[in-house]
Structure 1
Amino acid sequence: MRGTDSWLPRHVPGVHRLLAAAGLAAACAAALTIVQVVLFAHVVVAGFLQHRGVRELAPSLLCLAAVAVARAAVGWARDAGCRVMANRIMRELRGRVLRRLVRVRPGRVPAAEAVTAVVDGGEALEIHLARFLPQVMTAVLAPPAILGWVAFHDVLSALVMLVTLPLIPLFGALIGRATQARTRARLRALTRMSGHFLDVVTGLPTLRAYRRGRAQADAVADNTERYRRETMGVLRVAFLSAFVLELAATLGTALVAVGIGLRLVTGGLGLDAGLAILVLAPELYGPLRGLAAEYHAGADGMAAARRIDELLALPPAVPPPPGPPHPAGFGIVRLEDVTVRYDGGPPVLEGVSLEIRPGERTVVLGESGAGKSTLLAVLLRFVAPTSGLVTVDGTDLSAVDPDEWRRLVAWLPQRPRLRPGPALQAIGSADSRSPVAAAESVGAGALLHRTVGENGAGLSAGEVRRLALARALARPAPLLLLDEPTAHLDAAAARLVIDAVRTLPGRTVVVATHDARLAEGADQVVELTAPRPRRAADVLT
């Protein structure tokens, strides 16, 4: 077994408090176990060999019952308390992971992988905290206490225990090497299966249209079979380890019993002490057997913790302000020679300079891949410019808190999503002005009585876009960013949307589109061109 520090997940708040509570409970339980065994041996010897009556043994029996109740209460308090603390810790940790995920670059972490890490991985880590770590503290504190008491009464029995005790962690370490690899493979299989199943469910209408349902059903079955094999492999190792560790504990107890029996025959050991040592022998090996039994839960939890650590270590798409953030305010937005690269790759937006004045409508045109959506992402502070500067009324936008800035922005994404439920609730919020009027202005008034399903089920792509546009229009934000507002719309619906965008009173609007009709009457039209790929000759010259 590795040291305790190797089993402490990083970035987990409150784990040391949980360990301290578990350690205190383990120390109390070890002391009560020794007292209970001593009282039990005294009652047995006094009652059966010294023929004392119940009246004489009543104080000892009452003490024995009280200690048994106290020991059970301590065990219950440890289990219940650790479960409650683990639940609180995981709630906070899940919140931290989700807050980190919404701050990384969109698309950096696949949705299925994030769900697997936060939900399934979170459950495994919660079991690790609630069961494995408390058992680690019991295994660390209880055996030394029992060995110390046995050594005080019988050195030979203590030596036998000391020699046989390391066999359990030794076998556990050997088996644990195989367990770690299988546990990681199982987690990878679960992530692959979850991601593939989510993709299949999302694309089910397309699969049915192209008659590819059977092929994907076979692929789902293959992924499920792979996960089943990995799970059965982990269970096989778990059952094998349980058998080996039980055998080692049984052999150790038998050796202690043989030694005690020989010394009892020769008179070298008293019956009280011998009986107490014999009863304590299983209690000595029990914590390590329990630790081995929880080892697989610990391995699952640490595999999940490593993935959660990786998610928490992801850099935010927009770094926090270097100093105290400036208050968010709206005014003239200037982009000066802005270039954006993802992960050190080629530029997706290069050398853009632009001035956006309050109350004006700016239309950004360009072919696919020219960087129109990336420009909106820069204005939303979803990504930070690799070079260049973005200012608002002369204040560097990087010095403004991203959350405060986004409260001043309403956005229609290229692939809008609506909250499942009644359509009116999906487009309205506490800070919305009039979602009904906004929906009617874009021809979506008749859709307000509809119900939105998961991923927009029950609505066409154009209906989802019009409702999402109404949601953006209803939000009282001074800056409105629209990404392809007329995509997936027929001519009549597109005309309604164009007229609604052109007649917005007092709103600063930036539209990224392929539709040149949206440029009619615009205060500013910006034409973007795709960044030219750099060739080797360009670099050499």
Structure 2
Amino acid sequence: MRPIDPRLFRFSKSSRGFTFVSVLIATIGAALTITQSALLAHLITQVFEQNKLIASLKSSVIVLALVFLGKALLSYISERVAAVASASIRRDLRLQLVDRIFSTDAASKRGPAELSLLATRGVDNLDPYFAKFIPQLFIASVVPLIVGIAIAYKDLLSGIVIICTIALIPLFGILIGRFTASATQKKWQSLAILSGYYLDLISGIATLKLFGRSKQQAQRLQEVGDDYRSETMKVLRISFLSSLALEIIATLSVALMAVTIALRLVNGSITLQTGLFVLVLAPEVYWPIRQVSAQFHAASDGVEAANRIFEILETPVSAPSNLISDITEISWSDLTVEFEGREKLLIPAASIKAGAVNLIAGPSGSGKSTLISILLGFKSDYSGDVIVKGENGSVKLFDLDKTNWRKQLSWLAQEPHFQNATIFEVLQQ
């Protein structure tokens, strides 16, 4: 589970500008944080060590107030930019996902329930990923580095302490990330099963009521829902444990730094202003990393959804340019289809003449629906040939432009959904 998937920049142009703005905001935020700590250390030192009045430090107080205001404004801008970018990126991905579903055989591999889940809730789950996690990730990448350099410049020993302690965080992050990836994947699989089962249940509710099997299916639906709840709780447990681990590391690191500063203040080897500057700034090194961990778990559903969406978007789309019109015959031979966990499906050779009424008959599992999916262009992972003959010659179905091909077809599914209209109006639509 990678924090930022490189495929994001390939499928959404909006993400590139968003990345640049996020890095810029993080850099400005780091500069303001350093300025804030320096001003606080200066003011406290002047008041308690130099016995100066606050009134005589009016200019420093005004600048400090402006820094606080600037950080608040920067936080607002960051949230607004992230929200707009998230909406734009999700719109791009949803449009591309729907287009790829109709231009490939993804529907035959994943099923309508999972695809509808990805196109709706899956894409929506990307909002915390883009709006919260990505901005925080850039902050965690930029702020600790800049702040750490500032601390090391003022006090080398404190900089060494930061380097030694902060190195533990990526190690814990890798271990926790692996557990999170596995748990989130299982959670998403259970959600896909729940979605598919619910869709099948709704589609066949009339038949179930007719044969008195609705109560048994309701019990089964509850069991599937409990499985999803159990997987969700596992993800939450990992999230709380990871947050606790990072909190302990950060707290101990700042405490260690505070002890070393206190001892050196007693010995007089460090000034009060430098010690305060380092002590006030030290938590800012660990805070962004702790926050990115929290946002990572909040966005874990979006990360898993993004992985599945990118898998579909990476499905190769053939780009045939062959067109055909005035179809006279469709024939196929040596058609073989492989299914996972099943024997190869062999479809007997046959042909369909234009203007004739043809019946495709056979026992359950003989390949009737599979053949229809192939002829509609929704299934391409088959061996054999499907030849389409027209007035302008013959061409393989695989080489045809699928958009042009489907414009010449009409199809009524096995389980049609009747609308509140006459049959003539439905056929017109």
CA deviation profile, 1:72-93 (whole Å, cap 9, x unmatched): 2222222221222122111111
SS in 1 for 2:330: strand
Distance 1:61 1:381, change over 3 A: same
Amino acid at match of 1:363: V
Q: Which residue of 2 aligns with 1:72?
A: 72
SS in 2 for 1:50: coil
* 1:287-436 pair list within 5 angstroms: 287-314=288-315, 319-321=318-320, 325=321, 330-335=325-330, 340-343=335-338, 345-352=344-351, 354-356=352-354, 361-368=355-362, 380-382=376-378, 386-395=384-393, 396=395, 401-418=401-418, 422-423=420-421
SS in 2 for 1:241: helix
Q: By how many angstroms is 1:404 displaced?
A: 3.2
* 1:93-242 pair list within 5 angstroms: 93-105=93-105, 107-242=108-243
Distance 1:394 1:156, change over 3 A: same
Amino acid at match of 1:21: V
CA deviation profile, 1:157-180 (whole Å, cap 9, x unmatched): 111111111223323333333222
Q: By how many angstroms is 1:11 displaced?
A: 5.6
Distance 1:403 1:66, change over 3 A: same
RCO higher in structure (CA 8 A, sep ≥6) = 2
Distance 1:167 1:93, change over 3 A: same
Distance 1:255 1:407, change over 3 A: same
* TM-score normalised by L of structure 1: 0.70
Greater shift, 236-245 or 253-262, is seen at 236-245
Greater shift, 248-257 or 11-20, is seen at 11-20
SS in 2 for 1:102: helix
Query: For the residues of structure 2 that align with 1:17 and 1:95, how far apart are their CA atoms?
Result: 19
Q: By how many angstroms is 1:332 displaced?
A: 4.5
**Hey, which of these two has a bigger chunk of helix by percent?**
2
SS in 1 for 2:220: helix
Q: By how many angstroms is 1:154 displaced?
A: 0.8
Amino acid at match of 1:347: L
- RMSD over equivalenced CA pairs, Å: 2.9
Percent identical among aligned pairs is 32
Greater shift, 373-382 or 301-310, is seen at 373-382
* 1:223-262 pair list within 5 angstroms: 223-262=224-263
SS in 2 for 1:417: coil
Query: For the residues of structure 1 that align with 2:413 and 2:202, how far apart are their CA atoms?
Result: 22
| 1:82 has 2:76 as partner | no
Q: By how many angstroms is 1:337 displaced?
A: 5.2
Q: By how many angstroms is 1:141 displaced?
A: 1.1
Distance 1:373 1:278, change over 3 A: closer
Distance 1:285 1:209, change over 3 A: same
Query: For the residues of structure 2 that align with 1:372 and 1:244, how far apart are their CA atoms?
Result: 56
Query: For the residues of structure 2 that align with 1:201 and 1:409, how far apart are their CA atoms?
Result: 28
CA deviation profile, 1:213-247 (whole Å, cap 9, x unmatched): 22212211111211111111211221122222111
* Unpaired runs of at least 5, structure 2: none
Query: For the residues of structure 1 that align with 2:23 and 2:160, how far apart are their CA atoms?
Result: 26
Amino acid at match of 2:24: L
CA deviation profile, 1:111-159 (whole Å, cap 9, x unmatched): 2111222333223333222222222211111111111111111111111
CA deviation profile, 1:431-490 (whole Å, cap 9, x unmatched): xxxxxxxxxxxxxxxxx4xxxxxxxxxxxxxxxxxx2x6544x47xxxxxxxxxxxxxxx
Distance 1:375 1:175, change over 3 A: closer
* TM-score normalised by L of structure 2: 0.86
Asked if the contact 2:345/2:367 (under 8 Å) is kept, the reply is no
Query: For the residues of structure 1 that align with 2:311 and 2:305, how far apart are their CA atoms?
Result: 10
Q: By how many angstroms is 1:286 displaced?
A: 0.5
Asked if the contact 1:10/1:309 (under 8 Å) is kept, the reply is no
* Unpaired runs of at least 5, structure 1: 424-447, 449-466, 476-541
Query: For the residues of structure 2 that align with 1:193 and 1:379, how far apart are their CA atoms?
Result: 31
Query: For the residues of structure 1 that align with 2:331 and 2:288, how far apart are their CA atoms?
Result: 65
The number of equivalent residue pairs is 417
Tell which structure's C-alpha radius of gyration is larger.
1
Distance 1:29 1:104, change over 3 A: same
Q: By how many angstroms is 1:203 displaced?
A: 1.6
Distance 1:336 1:209, change over 3 A: closer
Amino acid at match of 1:210: F
Query: For the residues of structure 1 that align with 2:330 and 2:139, how far apart are their CA atoms?
Result: 61
Amino acid at match of 2:196: G
SS in 2 for 1:94: helix
Asked if the contact 2:324/2:392 (under 8 Å) is kept, the reply is no
SS in 2 for 1:333: strand
CA deviation profile, 1:180-201 (whole Å, cap 9, x unmatched): 2221111111111221122222
SS in 2 for 1:391: strand
